[in-house]
Amino acid sequence: MVSDLTKPPPYYYLANIDEAGDPGIRRVRPTDNPGGSEWLVIGCCLIEAKSEADQAVWVRQILDGVKMRQQTVLHYRELDDWRKPLVCQALAKRPVALFAMLSNKKNMKGHRNLAAAARSQGIPMDQVFYNWCIRIILERVTEYCYRHSVKAYGEPRHVKVLLSERGTHGYARAIWYHQMLKDQSKGGTTFLNKRTINWQVFDTRLMQVLPHTQNAGLQLADIVASAFYQSVDVLPPTVWNPSNARLLKLRTANNEGCFENCGVTFLPFKYYEAKLLPDQMDIFEFYGFHRFDFHARP
């Protein structure tokens, strides 16, 4: 079932979402060489809708601040190393709420969720995995919007979701997937329903896809995704450095001071299954995760 064609509700928040890494799970580094990235990181820069027009101004100011006055597009990965911390510091000064979902894919190598595949009508498992990761971050974003809007307005207010377009994804399928989740929620048949998207603030008619180069908000989300990716990926060509993601803490979403499973989410949920290296645990410990939870169980 797809959304009806009536006018979507007004939105009071805008969630810009971008990614770093890839959703491939057939071959995964470092187990496979060559293989897909060890990590898929989803980054979100959430703003209030009243600031939507300001995003282009912020990007322009950030570029000017790192002496890139001739550039019109901000792409974190292409920045010189000295510019990256300045860009993160500049973003942390804006009125935003930041979210990062970091999935270590080693335990997903070759995974086939038969239940999800059956519901997804033959969609490739890489796409199913991507859809699921978007769901995970939207659960956190919509929960945050619900809390914020009830406090600010006395009632839930909607969030618009803007996805950064990549050529490998079927975005119509991604939108369809989230509509399916809404239909399942209404019918009480949601699979993995420990946590769900808050449908009081989210409507699939408020999902849109745009190229990263055409939208300033998506370029801000790219900062989040790429900085957190750099904080956990220790394989070349990435130069591992957690310090830039640390600079985003001031604006990273939290729930009463807790970042875990709010502004910063890690997959797999059984942390020890990822068998992370000590360097890869650094950013999670900085954001309040317990290092003990990442150690292998007997």
The rounded average pLDDT for each run of 10 residues, N- to C-terminus, in the chain (298 residues) is 69 97 91 91 98 98 98 97 98 98 87 47 78 95 98 98 79 63 58 76 94 96 98 96 98 97 96 95 97 80
What's the CA gap between 24 and 37, in Å, rounded? 8
- Tell me the C-alpha distance between 263 and 224, whole Å: 11
Domains identified in the chain, total number: 1
Residue 81 in domain: yes
**Residue 5 domain flag:** no
96 within some domain: yes
1 domain-assigned: no
State the pTM of this model: 0.91
State pLDDT tens for residues 99-155: 999 999 998 865 554 444 444 455 788 888 899 999 999 999 999 999 999 999 999
Do 208 and 161 form a contact (C-beta atoms < 8 A)? yes
User: Which domain CATH number covers 137?
Assistant: 3.30.420.10
Give the CA distances from residue 285 to residues 120, 200, 243, in Å, rounded to whole numbers and listed in that order. Answer: 36, 33, 13
